[in-house]
């Protein structure tokens, strides 16, 4: 099968109609696939995990640059197709696997290093995939992924914008993010309705995070609670979770008072909304809540 150009015809001949529910928008230009692969800054010693091999449009240039590629594909029909045709480069191992159910410790063992992930990501899984990366941040080196523009914009958003939210703050706490390339719908078959953006997410050394010395699970809980109702004040969103319920034996009023004190002790006014806070202020809030809870 030709990977580029006449993708539509090839798919029809192989009875592999693109599946919308699996976000199958295949790259159709070799030069574009090369440009996306180049965003990975892959070296000859790298073992790359590719999520969503599809017809192999991106797999090909990645395999040319890397030592090995471990390709994951959820669509059994596509996996069978590649196995029958034996058309992927020799240094590619194809696994029938849902990335959202993948064992990252196992992928880490297979990679023999921190994970380097490339993907033209199915739009339907972009948010859960990003949260999976955040969960597994200590096993991550970098991820270079194509996302719908709207999601990419959220990752690089600044406070006081409507794009700024939970993924922005959580990802910023453990990684640096760069937008590298914008792709128009005509680069894909079938064409999506919106532009796509390739972003590079470089994870920090968790040791650096440890020296920051704050309780990451609590930080995550605070960020999620603070953004749960964007129009409400920090006092209302954070006290509705009742972080201090054990300390006040379920007394909501007392819990709200402790929440107010914890917010103020972080140097923040309780009437503010989550969307105005910078990452450092969320970290200050976490330290202040920790101090009260300990
Ligand atoms: N890499 C190919 C390309 O660039 O042309 C295909 C990209 S297409 C946007 C996304 C691919 O991810 C599809 O092949 C789809 O079947 C696969 N996919 C969808 N959900 C997945 C999941 N949860 N885990 C692994 N692969 C998935």
Asked whether 226 and 270 are in contact (CB, 8 A), the reply is: no
- Residue 73 CA, ligand 1 centroid: distance in Å: 6
Asked whether 136 and 203 are in contact (CB, 8 A), the reply is: no
- Return d(Cα 23, Cα 161) in angstroms, integer: 28
Q: Where in the chain is the domain with CATH 3.40.50.150?
A: 7-206
- Return d(Cα 252, Cα 240) in angstroms, integer: 9
Beta carbon of 145 within 6 Å of any ligand 1 atom: no
- Which CATH number is associated with domain 213-293? 1.10.8.100
For residue 33, the ligand 1 atom closest to its alpha carbon is: 4
- Which residues, listed in sequence order, are joined to residue 95 by a DSSP beta bridge? 72
Asked whether 92 and 63 are in contact (CB, 8 A), the reply is: yes
- Return d(Cα 196, Cα 183) in angstroms, integer: 5
| Mean pLDDT confidence for 272-282 | 97
- 284 C-beta neighbours (distance < 10 Å), count: 18
For residue 124, the ligand 1 atom closest to its alpha carbon is: 20
Statement: residue 1 has pLDDT above 60: no
| Mean pLDDT confidence for 132-158 | 96
Bond from prior residue into 190 cis (ω within 30 degrees of 0) = yes
What is the helix (H) or strand (E) element at residue 143, kind and residue range? strand 140-148
Statement: residue 178 has pLDDT above 80: yes
pLDDT of residue 39: 98
Q: Which has the closest alpha carbon to 189: 59, 31, 51, 24? A: 24
Asked whether 274 and 240 are in contact (CB, 8 A), the reply is: no
**Structure letter (DSSP) for residue 20:** G
- Residue 144 CA, ligand 1 centroid: distance in Å: 14
Among protein residues, the one with the nearest Cα to ligand 1's atom 24 is 98
Token pair belonging to 239:
């006290």
Burial class (CB in 10 A: 0-12, 13-18, 19+), 241: middle
Fold held by 7-206: Rossmann fold (3.40.50)
How confident is the model over 223-273, as pLDDT tens digits?
Answer: 999 999 999 999 999 999 989 988 888 888 999 999 999 999 999 999 999
| Mean pLDDT confidence for 40-53 | 98
- Residue 275 CA, ligand 1 centroid: distance in Å: 33
- Return d(Cα 88, Cα 82) in angstroms, integer: 7
Q: Which has the closest alpha carbon to 33: 146, 150, 141? A: 146
| 3-class state of residue 69 by DSSP | strand
Asked whether 229 and 237 are in contact (CB, 8 A), the reply is: yes
- Residue 19 CA, ligand 1 centroid: distance in Å: 10
How confident is the model over 71-130, as pLDDT tens digits?
Answer: 999 999 999 999 999 999 999 999 999 999 999 999 999 999 999 999 999 988 999 999
Beta carbon of 71 within 6 Å of any ligand 1 atom: no
pLDDT of residue 246: 85
| Least confident range of 11-15, 17-21, 30-34, 137-141 | 11-15
Beta carbon of 79 within 6 Å of any ligand 1 atom: no
Q: Where in the chain is the domain with CATH 1.10.8.100?
A: 213-293
Percent of the chain with pLDDT over 70: 94
Statement: residue 56 has pLDDT above 90: yes
Q: Which residues contact 31 (CB under 8 A, 6 or more apart)?
A: none
Q: Which residues contact 117 (CB under 8 A, 6 or more apart)?
A: 48, 49, 50, 51, 133, 140, 142, 143, 144, 145
End-to-end alpha-carbon separation of the chain, Å? Answer: 62
Beta carbon of 72 within 6 Å of any ligand 1 atom: yes
Statement: residue 132 has pLDDT above 80: yes
| Mean pLDDT confidence for 157-173 | 96
pLDDT of residue 16: 76
How confident is the model over 201-220, as pLDDT tens digits?
Answer: 999 976 565 556 899 999 99
pLDDT of residue 142: 98
Token pair belonging to 49:
């995990």
35 band by pLDDT with thresholds 50, 70 and 90:
very high
- Name the residue of 52, 118, 195 to mutate for ligand 1: max ligand atoms within 8 A of Cβ: 52
What is the helix (H) or strand (E) element at residue 158, kind and residue range? none
Statement: residue 186 has pLDDT above 90: yes
Q: Give the torsion sign (CA, 107, 108, 113, 117).
A: positive
pLDDT of residue 210: 53
Beta carbon of 26 within 6 Å of any ligand 1 atom: yes
To 5 degrees, how large is the angle CA 173–CA 156–CA 230?
A: 80
Beta carbon of 125 within 6 Å of any ligand 1 atom: yes
For residue 53, the ligand 1 atom closest to its alpha carbon is: 1
Beta carbon of 23 within 6 Å of any ligand 1 atom: yes
Beta carbon of 225 within 6 Å of any ligand 1 atom: no
- Return d(Cα 71, Cα 166) in angstroms, integer: 29
- Residue 23 CA, ligand 1 centroid: distance in Å: 7
Beta carbon of 56 within 6 Å of any ligand 1 atom: no
Beta carbon of 73 within 6 Å of any ligand 1 atom: yes
Q: Which has the closest alpha carbon to 219: 134, 115, 129? A: 134
């Amino acid at each position: 099968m030709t990977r580029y150009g006449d993708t539509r015809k090839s798919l029809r001949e192989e009875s592999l109609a693109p599946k919308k529910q699996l976000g199958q928008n295949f790259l159709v230009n070799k030069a574009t696939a090369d440009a996306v692969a180049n965003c990975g800054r892959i070296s000859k010693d790298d073992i790359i995990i590719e999520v969503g091999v599809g017809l192999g449009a991106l797999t090909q240039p990645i395999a040319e640059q890397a030592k090995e590629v471990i390709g994951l594909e959820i669509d059994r029909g596509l996996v069978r197709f590649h196995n029958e045709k034996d058309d992927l480069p020799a240094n590619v191992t194809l696994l029938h696997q849902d990335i959202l159910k993948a064992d990252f410790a196992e992928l880490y063992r297979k990679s023999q290093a921190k994970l380097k992930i490339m993907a033209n990501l199915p739009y339907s899984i972009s948010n859960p995939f990003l949260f999976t990366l955040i969960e597994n941040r200590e096993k991550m080196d970098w991820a270079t992924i194509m996302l719908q523009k709207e999601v990419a914009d959220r990752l690089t958003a600044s406070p006081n914008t409507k794009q700024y939210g939970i993924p922005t703050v959580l990802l910023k706490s453990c990684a640096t993010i760069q937008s590298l390339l914008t792709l128009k719908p005509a680069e894909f078959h079938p064409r999506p309705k919106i532009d796509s953006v390739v972003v590079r997410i470089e994870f920090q050394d968790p040791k650096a995070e440890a020296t920051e010395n704050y309780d990451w699970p609590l930080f995550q809980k605070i960020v999620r609670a603070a953004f749960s109702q964007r129009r409400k004040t920090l006092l209302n969103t954070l006290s509705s979770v009742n972080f201090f319920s054990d300390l006040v034996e379920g007394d909501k009023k007392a819990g709200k008072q402790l929440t107010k004190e914890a917010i103020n002790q972080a140097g923040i006014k309780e009437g503010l909304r989550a969307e105005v806070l910078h990452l450092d202020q969320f970290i200050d809030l976490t330290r202040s809540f920790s101090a009260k809870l300990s």
